[in-house]
Structure 1
């Protein structure tokens, strides 16, 4: 498990900072009083200082010099595809609220992981990513496995660094640690394979701050300005996003909503819940097209958005986002969100302390708050043992899951029903891919469970989504991540089918009903069961759900379902 700083091995009264028990790295010489410190050992020191002692990786030849004889205090976690490497690290980082370490193999590894890195960026997951490169001494000749790596992941990394010298690598890793945290995303360091054995003199400057502390100050004038706008409003409403997912932010926003008697909406396509979704003032999830968005917010003359930009949409429809005359205010800790939001006022500030001061500053409203009237979908069991609908699966889950459960979602065609029937009742109660790309849930749920071994984790995934990173099931089984994977199997890409129908045409892609996710899971060493009837589902959930907090073995339920008839993409 990742932990705090740890020392190396004692060798004749000194620390062997190469990080190996009594043996120098450089040249493989025997350790002793003259043990040589290497770049590899210096990087291990940096990683320990930042608590990065778990390495998520799928190794390649350019990383062997780093990984062979890994120190005992560093844990190696193997994933079978680089998308799973980054997905597991993303889940780990989000769950622990601290950076995670991923290792990728030159062009092939980084290229395979680009989609997952984009998801990590939009999910604000702090990742330190080491990318292997060919030997520095003949890079100019572009030998086999040379990578043109600096721009391969585009703008999604918050930092990409190619150290000019081998001795600059430890400082680059230290800067990546800081940038991953404060930039909110993956920071990449590209390391030629021969750099690891290069000497790192004791007098070499670290070239990176040992610690960076961001002051979470809140400007009282900004609080007063937003409070005045709320006090002037006749009927304010709140919209919350992933940036408000945390105990302090939930408590502050709950108090603010109750003092204002204001309904609280969750952003559309929200990757995390920004408010307790079982609270009476929770109004539901904003729709993702402008006409329905304006209808949802009708009657509100001011909308305060907290922890997200204003507002994510999917299909383009003309017209304004908000009803005419509605003032928009955004509070976010993310500069990009603040800058792109079409609002009357954007405040760039730490969300939880700002919301807490705002709640104390606004004038409480008399009377009783209006009930938002959030609809709930009916989900009665199918008659006579008929085929299951997704809502019936979610109703069975919602009735049994503990409030502390982390639910990781990747079922696009039935997400509205999931939101209605399995609300997030605790921070980190809901997690999904903010980017929208598939292949997130299986590795992310595995990483979350490895990071939080005492917290129940359930992944609800469509069968099409599961096939993007089904390899992650091997890692879940190998490392004892006791996730319950609930795969909704309809043998097709239901969202794409519906979109094709909306366009008035016939899709050219076939279904894949012959694919058995349960058989694939078992082939990867993950226990699996096929579920075809409601009574089977209830029986297995009653058996398994009470064990989720302590189980060390994953289980996949391959649940046969019909496509959701009410879904509107």
Structure 2
């Protein structure tokens, strides 16, 4: 224990966390983490997840919603292992997190003690921006500070610090927070060149991605698109919404295939990618990356994404600031607006499809509600029937992994208190993190969990057809009672098996002040 009047590592770290606005801690505690919470201060809150991946997913949603790094506290080795799937997703999402993990006492590390982590700083790589186990207890506060600054620097992402259990009560010198710039300003000459090219283009198109939403460039991209009468596409697999999908210039969603992207962008002589890698491929493709004669320019805050772009010109910049410079560029030539996209016909409910469900969700969910989605096989119908029209109104998983959506919805609800969250989850996806419902119930968060139950891994069955598989193994999911699971964790639930029951069930859920679940059995 420390001598009287000295600062402990714990006190120094808590002081830093307060200064950084990180007074919410997500975790699932183990033995090597307990001393961190001795005399836990009243101005901090601990959000318990019933498994480490859920804790990390909640922190991811919270950090995205608050635009500040969140703190995740994991158990050594095995706890970190449990969380790695959602750590990978946070890395792909560009989510700033400071992840700490316990380690056994320094004095017994030479003897490979029970519940210790071997090479702990290496374990979460390469899906953290920086990681360390400090050489001395006194170095822990400085490591936490560095982890925060790096997590918040663009491109944002997770960092990791392993902390031996006996470090927390050791004396140390306090570490004061510093101001560290988080803004990247792009090359003004290159931006001026893009502005000139944009003004001269005959038929420009924009492709917007999650980086634009992270940089809060909603107003700027709407203004620039309207100024240039540019069609606006969403980049493949975009994890955030960056443009209103009911806007006349909205053109639709690019598909993650080379030939499909080329076909969609045909006829555009200039493409401006904003916070988007653009060339996200999910299946093998061949031929050019762009239509013949099309020029590509990219604004992105990630030097790595700029480096692997196969064609075109990239400017590494805060996208919002880059757009502001483009808005000051030369006046555009006179152009006719692009033809509006054809909106899909309204569905009748026969068959009782996921498209009909999502259409009714769009019609009845509260104005301004936030959609968190993890229903891969329903992504296409969601694009058709559940347009996202409000700023920061949509969150999903950039990695393609499962088990993120349900806990992320909890984190978003915590980060945006008082706002309704609608979590659209596939039945298979939901089961990766179903015990997250317990946390939602304990905190009484206003979340409507809507389970699209098609009783199988539908996305895999569809993908199997691409490989010529007539039958896929291990894809059926019969006999899961989501209402029983929800009610067993304290969440009110209702099962819907026909369109006549749907609207009333959705209205009840959307009107609830706490969490509720609607299981919808679709054809």
TM range (shorter): over 0.9
Write the distance in 2 (CA, Å) between the matches of 1:335 and 1:218: 11
Q: 2:197 aligns with which of 212, 229, 237?
A: 229
CA deviation after TM superposition for structure 1 residue 340, in Å: 1.3
Q: Rg larger in 1 or in 2?
A: 1
Q: Which residue of 2 aligns with 1:101?
A: 71
Distance across 1 between alignment mates of 2:335 and 2:293? 25
Residue 555 of structure 1: which of 497, 516, 521 is its match? Answer: 516
Pick the aligned partner of 1:199 from 171, 175, 186: 171
**Offset of residue 541 of structure 1:** 2.0
Consecutive aligned runs of 4 or more in structure 1 exceeding 6 Å deviation: none
Find 1:163's aligned residue among 123, 134, 143: 134
Tell me which residue corresponds to 1:452. 416
Provide the C-alpha distance between the structure 2 equivalents of 1:114 and 1:49, rounded to a whole number of angstroms: 28
1:186 paired residue number: 158
What is the distance in 2 between the residues matched to 1:216 and 1:508? 48
CA distance change for structure 1 residues 269 and 357 in 2, over 3 Å: closer, same or farther? same
Aligned to 1:306: 274
Report the Cα offset of residue 218 of structure 1.
4.6
TM-score (ref. length: structure 1): 0.88
Q: Secondary structure at the match of 1:271?
A: coil
State the match for 2:110 in structure 1. Answer: 140
Aligned pair 1:414/2:378, yes or no?
A: yes
| Secondary structure, counterpart of 1:46 in structure 2 | helix
The aligned runs of 1:425-504 (5 Å cut-off) are 425-504=389-468
CA shift, 1:480, in A, is 1.6
Indicate whether 1:294 and 2:262 are aligned. yes
Larger RCO, structures 1/2 (Cα 8 Å, 6+ apart): 2
Residue 5 (structure 1) aligns with: none
Aligned ranges 1:110-121 → 2 under 5 Å: 110-121=80-91
C-alpha separation in 1, matches of 2:214 and 2:53 = 27
Summarize deviations over 1:418-454 as a string: whole Å, max 9, x none: 0121112122111100001000111000010011112
CA shift for structure 1 position 248:
5.0
Q: CA RMSD in A?
A: 1.7
Matches within 5 A, 1:253-292: 253-292=221-260
SS in 2 for 1:73: coil
Shift of 1:510: 5.0
Structure 2 match to 1:10: none
Determine if contact 2:198/2:332 at 8 Å carries over to the other structure.
Answer: no
SS at the partner of 1:399?
helix
Cα pair 1:244 1:275 within 8 Å, conserved = no
Cα distance in structure 1, aligned partners of 2:39 and 2:78: 24
2:493 alignment counterpart: 528
Contact conserved, 2:24 with 2:47, CA < 8 A, in 1?
yes
C-alpha displacement of 1:502: 3.1
Structure 2 vs 1, CA of residues 401 and 246 (structure 1 numbering), >3 Å: closer, same or farther? Answer: farther
TM-score, length basis structure 2 = 0.96
**What SS is found at the alignment partner of 1:443?**
helix
d(CA) in 2 for partners of 1:343, 1:304: 12
- Say whether the 8 Å CA contact 1:282–1:374 is kept in structure 2: no
Matches within 5 A, 1:54-73: 54-73=24-43
Q: Is the 8 A contact 1:134 1:146 kept in 2?
A: yes
Contact 1:377–1:420 (Cα < 8 Å) also in 2:
no
Residue 11 of structure 1: aligned partner:
none
Counterpart selection for 2:284 from 285, 298, 316: 316
SS in 2 for 1:51: coil
Greater Cα offset, 34-43 or 109-118: 34-43
Q: CA 1:367 to 1:215, structure 2 compared with 1: closer, same or farther past 3 Å?
A: closer
Verify the 8 A CA contact 2:131 2:160 in the aligned structure 1.
yes
1:349 and 1:36 map into 2 onto residues whose CA distance is 44
1:542 correspondence with 2:507: yes
Name 1:357's counterpart in structure 2. 325
Q: Encode CA deviations 1:298-349: one digit per residue, 9 max, x unaligned.
A: 1111111000113211011111221122111101111111111123210011
2:21 to 51, 60, 82: 51
Structure-2 change in CA distance of 1:58 and 1:496 (3 Å): same
Secondary structure of the corresponding residue to residue 70 of structure 1: coil
Name the counterpart of 1:16.
none
Work out the CA distance in 1 between the residues paired with 2:330 and 2:323.
11
Q: Which residue of 2 aligns with 1:9?
A: none
| Residue correspondences, number | 520
- Please show how residues 328-347 of structure 1 align to structure 2 within 5 Å: 328-347=296-315
Structure 2: distance between partners of 1:365 and 1:397 = 41
* Residue 125 of structure 1 pairs with residue 95 of structure 2: yes
Q: Secondary structure at the match of 2:168?
A: helix
